[in-house]
Amino acid sequence: MSFATNMRRCVVAVLAAGAVLAASVPSASADVSQPDWCPVVEGRRVECGTLTVPLVRADPSQGSTRIAYALVRRTGTGRPAAGTVVPVPGGPGEPAIGQVDLFAQQTAALRADHDLLLIDPRGVGRSETIECGLPDDLYLLSRERYVAEIGKCGRALGARARGYTSAESADDIDAVRARLGVDRVDLYGVSYGTYLSTVYAHRHPDRVRRIVLSGAYPLASDPLGRSSARAVPDILGRLCARSGTCRGGEAVADLRTLAARLRKDPIRFTARFAGRSRTVAMDERMLALLHYYVAGSGGTPAAWSELPAAVGEAARGKPAALVAMTRQTVEMTGTLPPEARSSRAQSVAVLCNDYPVVWDRRSAVPARRASFQRALRRADGTFGPFSTRGWTAAVADSADACLRWPRETPRAPRYGAAPDLPVLVLSGDLDTNTTLDQGRRAAAQFPDATFVKVPNAGHVPTGEKSGCAARLAADFIRTGELRGTACLSRIPALPVRPVR
């Protein structure tokens, strides 16, 4: 469950992907009737527009908001479209229109006869970005201050916060679909987009033809992130077995040793953040963060090539490589482009309105805190190599993140059985963010779902470099079946640096 422009877009893409979202660039040859933000896709006509919808559909007095979309037409315009693919971006907080090049590339096999409909979620990108005063260094704050800042964000948004839910965003997608006269869509959800796609399928089942979920997690996910913590030893075992340059059991033991040491004696170093020097503590929380969000990110998760050796060396008293990784993460977090920083308000609003919590949302902060502490005690010892608090303090989008979120926001809706639609779920077997276990549970929500484990891939496996997973996804959208999976066995193993 990735939430971009918060920890996942601020930190996750840093080492593994190293790329900035593609910008929508207007062209001098663009149709003058188009808005100036309308993207240009070589060889394809793009039609852009906006649609005004209620901010809270159940309460029209809250006013309205504007939803932006870009419809990228198929190249074979002489025939009717075989389908309309709707990429549902991650985050929450990522735009779709700003990633047009990425989504066009991943659906290139469909470009001749499928249209591509990109919709910026409300509060993000061209769909009226919102702000709530979150500080630039939010993800470097202590856990207590982090929780406090999210609470302040909720109070700053006030009644408007009720409008930023997955249910409202799903209804926005359907409103654009109806405006354009599209009968049914093919949903292509990535990361948080797998959650939103599932919500859309529940709310508008008759308007969905097929669904692809890449880097998926179920609606009823664990607020404490235990699946991700338990996945770390398994992934270290796979990395070492495939590379031959390390031993899985030894790598796990090194991680356990280092986590215990950093719990008591953090390593302090300086890093440049937003042009200023600041002291950073490499503690167990930071170590967990590297393994939760950074290591497995990107379809081809390059950070796994370095992290086991860096941990092993630090466990032996040589922390230079691990400090360098952490410093790079911190410094790149401080240089995020404005569009990445500006969507954090929508991110925290969605996660605090929608994601499962271990307390009654109607209760006051002291009662919430007591419920959270009881949940931690019950969960003790179930976080793999990490301590209970060391891991949960790194969980950016759940655990106690929303402890101080206002009580006046809407209750998260409960959904029954999912509709009987063709669904393909792809999970990378090196992903600690949305794990194999979470992917299987996401698939189990649907009566007609196919689950595929993508070897040597991380979060959002349709982004892995060989292109195999993206081809499988495109073929499924075209045919409704999974065929030609032999390419999975040819995805190369990651090289893993040995401990020096």
Listed by start position, the domains of the chain span: 7-133+158-220+414-490, 226-333
Rounded distance between C-alpha atoms, residue 122 and residue 32, angstroms: 25
pLDDT (0 to 100) of residue 343: 86
**Tens-digit pLDDT profile for residues 440-469:** 999 999 999 999 999 999 999 999 999 999
Q: How much is the average pLDDT of 295-306?
A: 96
pLDDT (0 to 100) of residue 337: 66
Is the model's pLDDT at 202 over the cut of 80? yes
**Tens-digit pLDDT profile for residues 240-297:** 999 999 999 999 999 999 999 999 999 999 999 988 999 999 999 999 999 999 999 9
Is the model's pLDDT at 412 over the cut of 90? no
- Identify residue 158 by its one-letter amino acid code: G
CATH H-level superfamily of 7-133+158-220+414-490: Alpha/Beta hydrolase fold, catalytic domain (3.40.50.1820)
Q: What percent of the chain has pLDDT over 90?
A: 87
Rounded distance between C-alpha atoms, residue 117 and residue 100, angstroms: 10
Sheet holding 185-190, edge to edge: 46-54, 64-72, 114-119, 83-88, 185-190, 208-214, 423-428, 449-454
Rounded distance between C-alpha atoms, residue 322 and residue 339, angstroms: 29
**Tens-digit pLDDT profile for residues 336-391:** 666 666 689 999 999 999 999 999 999 999 999 999 999 999 999 999 999 999 99
Predicted TM-score of the model (pTM): 0.93
Helix (H, G, I), strand (E, B) or coil at 414: coil
Closest CA to 386 of 309, 246, 283, 304: 283
456: CB partners within 8 A, 6+ apart:
242, 300, 428, 429, 430, 464, 491, 492, 493, 494
Kindly provide the b/e burial profile for residues 18-46, where b requires at least 16 CB atoms within 10 angstroms of the residue's own CB. eeebbebeeeeebeeebeebbbbbeebeb
* CA terminus-to-terminus distance, the chain: 34
Q: What percent of the chain has pLDDT over 70?
A: 91
**Tens-digit pLDDT profile for residues 469-492:** 999 999 999 999 998 899 999 999
Is the model's pLDDT at 25 over the cut of 60? no
pLDDT (0 to 100) of residue 9: 46
Cis peptide before 92 (omega within 30 of 0): yes
Number of neighbours of residue 433 by Cβ within 10 angstroms: 27
Q: Tell me the DSSP string of 431-447.
A: -SSS-HHHHHHHHHTST
Rounded distance between C-alpha atoms, residue 415 and residue 397, angstroms: 21
pLDDT band at 30 (very low <50, low <70, confident <90, very high): very low
pLDDT (0 to 100) of residue 344: 92
pLDDT (0 to 100) of residue 20: 31
pLDDT (0 to 100) of residue 275: 87
**Tens-digit pLDDT profile for residues 33-84:** 689 999 999 999 999 999 999 999 999 999 999 999 999 999 999 999 999 9
Is the model's pLDDT at 311 over the cut of 70? yes
Is the model's pLDDT at 128 over the cut of 50? yes
On average, the pLDDT of the chain sits at 92
Is the model's pLDDT at 3 over the cut of 60? no
Cα 319 from chain centroid (whole Å): 29
Q: Answer whether 224's CB lies under 8 Å from 394's CB.
A: no
Helix (H, G, I), strand (E, B) or coil at 358: coil
